[in-house]
Homo-oligomer: A and B are copies of this chain.
């Protein structure tokens, strides 16, 4: 008897949770499960603003995949996915290939540059663990540079965050909270540090409650953050960014956080996609490919109430993983009656660094300590879901 082969590509929130859930749902005789990922670790993408700003050790934001999996039930392959050969039912890896009967594509996202010149050359765009380490060390180098450079008008300690969405706001929240400590450590006067957030849209955190946005901006401004809202970035150069009508901000550090697009593997593999995201069927399968599920940042699902796509978040990726696992279980049982995905919004909280945050849970707006508490609970819940109580205990955030 040939067991069905399930391959899960990517071990982010979507893929990791799909692997863990499937390994619990399915017996050893039902199917073989293979998880393939570029690194041997899973990391908390939603935490990366902390190691990037240096307020958390990068190692704390990751966990060995082998420690999350029942390795008797799930094969783990450390390799990079290059392409999905849909017609051949296999995926090409950098160092090999894998056949599948059912494939879960959970390959995450990459930075969206909107074609603005110079972004890849001069800005930090990688919101990965390796990318976060690089931002952290770059920031500390810039503080160390300060007392050694002759011309400080060239932006040695000017930090520009492109984009006032979640990632940008959470990152500047951490950095602005940590700046005084960095100034002390490197003998830098506080006023030497300039922090800008540049956003093309008419508001920070577009779509978020305006009252909370104002609370957040006021708080960040009190820490020295300067907002340039309604201000598109024209170009990123070796010396800074050109914004609005040609104004130049000299800056040695530009962090790119204007949003994401789906993994390039999607387009390379010939899936019909919009900014690298596939508009999936209600059951999360790729249109026309009944053996391929696409979840997380590579999947596009319309929020019917708002008539626009749900933003790609850890929360929605985790929920998609559960639905996918359920649907694969049904398929293995011979059922074609798959469940339609339904997003259950459990609230959204943006941390602002330190003990500050803003958020909406249900219909309630929260901010300050309450929101910060809630944010930490959400972070712990993600650990609990993927790794159980031992992981939450080991890596979790003490909420008070």
- Taking the closest CB of chain B, its distance from the CB of A241, in whole angstroms, is 21
Is A130 in the interface zone, CB < 8 Å from B?
Answer: yes
Is A303 in the interface zone, CB < 8 Å from B?
Answer: no
**A interface residues (Cβ-Cβ under 8 A, vs B):** 39, 59, 126, 130-131, 133-134, 136-138, 140-141, 143-145, 147-148, 185-187
Task: Give the docked Cα–Cα distance between A134 and B145 (Å).
Answer: 6
Number of copies: 2
- Is the contact region of chain A dominated by helix, strand, or loop, or is it mixed? helix
| B126-A148 in contact (CB<8A) | yes
Task: Give the docked Cα–Cα distance between A303 and B138 (Å).
Answer: 46
A131 contacts which chain B residues (CB < 8 A)?
148
Write 16 A-B pairs (CB below 8 A) sorted by A numbering.
A39-B187, A126-B148, A130-B144, A130-B147, A131-B148, A133-B144, A133-B186, A134-B141, A134-B144, A134-B145, A134-B148, A136-B144, A137-B144, A140-B140, A140-B141, A141-B141
Please give me the 7 A-B residue pairs with the lowest Cβ-Cβ distance, nearest first: A137-B141, A133-B144, A130-B147, A137-B144, A134-B144, A137-B140, A141-B141
A145 contacts which chain B residues (CB < 8 A)?
134, 137
In the complex, given contacts A136-B144, A137-B144, A140-B141, what are 13 additional A-B residue pairs having Cβ atoms less than 8 angstroms apart? A130-B148, A131-B148, A133-B186, A134-B141, A134-B144, A134-B145, A134-B148, A137-B137, A137-B141, A137-B145, A138-B141, A138-B144, A141-B141
Task: Give the docked Cα–Cα distance between A148 and B130 (Å).
Answer: 7
Task: Give the docked Cα–Cα distance between A148 and B126 (Å).
Answer: 8
Closest to A184 in B: B59
Closest to A130 in B: B147
- Taking the closest CB of chain B, its distance from the CB of A80, in whole angstroms, is 12
Task: Give the docked Cα–Cα distance between A144 and B137 (Å).
Answer: 7
Task: Give the docked Cα–Cα distance between A147 and B134 (Å).
Answer: 9
- Taking the closest CB of chain B, its distance from the CB of A51, in whole angstroms, is 10
> Which residue of B133, B134, B143 is within 8 Å of A137 (Cβ)?
B143
Task: Give the docked Cα–Cα distance between A400 and B141 (Å).
Answer: 33
A137 contacts which chain B residues (CB < 8 A)?
137, 140-141, 143-145
A143 contacts which chain B residues (CB < 8 A)?
137
